[in-house]
Copies of this chain bind each other. A is one copy, B any other.
Amino acid sequence: MNLVAQFAVDHKVPCEQCPLRDCAIFRPLSDGEVDLLSDFKIGEFTVEGGSTIFSEGVRSDQLFTVLEGWGFRYKTLPDGRRQIINFILPGDFIGLQATLDAEMEHSVETLTAASLCTFPRQKLTEVFARSPRLAFDVTWLAAREERVLDEHLLSLGRRTARERAAYYLAHLFVRAEEVGLAVEGRVRFPFTQQHLADALGLSLVHTNKILRRLTYDRLIEWEHGLFRSPDFGALAELGGYDMEDRQERPLL
């Protein structure tokens, strides 16, 4: 694990040129909003896979939007047990969970090389003052994240291991697809079965057995990091994954 002590600003691409904005899923911004966001933004930087972005118990003065790469957000118990709260994909806004002056209560680590857009936490109040619309977007994102956690909580509490795995894989697949990470129905999952186990709240061994069975039942394929589902409908059905219409969402 590689601790990023200081986030150097590599360069600064104007927000209006942000490649993510081309994804249909993201709400278009007005010129004024983009200007404000550009102003809010400090810069970008790139880290390699395995870098720690946030660390439990440490304060962070920055917020990030992920431009590229995968990561995950997690908490650990003193004896080392780890729970992955969720995976982080391009377009995700991270760091909001902590208050302005409080310590992070979770850690974030990258799975692949990643590039992040940086915002100073202190200026968030200024953004709220200058653009109610962007303020609303921030709130909207927080509420959306909460809905995702609700569903995950339902999984961990009440779904069987098999249903849980099916739900989560369907969920991850769709999230990746939304931001253009799917090629011919395939997505590269840059995490190991141990990561998935830690997200599902299962042991590594049991996770493996369930994945093998889902593979045998032709619900998933996951080899050499490349994932696809031969029958996504059945996978979603098994997991109780709701293929709701993906609504437009903000991008900060």
**Which residue numbers of A lie inside 8 Å of B, CB to CB?**
75, 77-78, 81-83, 85, 96-99, 102, 105-106, 124-125, 128-129, 132-133, 135-136, 138-140, 142-147, 149-154, 156-159, 198-201, 240, 247
Q: In the A-B complex, list the 9 residue pairs whose CB atoms are closest, starting with the nearest.
A: A157-B201, A142-B142, A156-B156, A128-B132, A83-B157, A129-B132, A81-B158, A149-B149, A83-B154
- Alpha-carbon distance A159/B146, docked complex (angstroms): 21
Number of copies: 2
- In the assembled complex, which residues on chain B have CB atoms less than 8 Å from the CB atom of A154? 75, 77, 83, 85
Check B153 against A85 for contact (C-beta < 8 Å): yes
With contacts A77-B240, A132-B129 taken as known, whether A146 is within 8 angstroms of B97 at the C-beta atoms is yes
Shortest CB–CB separation between residue A68 and chain B, in angstroms? Answer: 24
User: Contact check: which of B98, B144, B147, B201 meets A158 at CB < 8 Å?
Assistant: B201
User: Contact check: which of B132, B149, B152 meets A125 at CB < 8 Å?
Assistant: B132
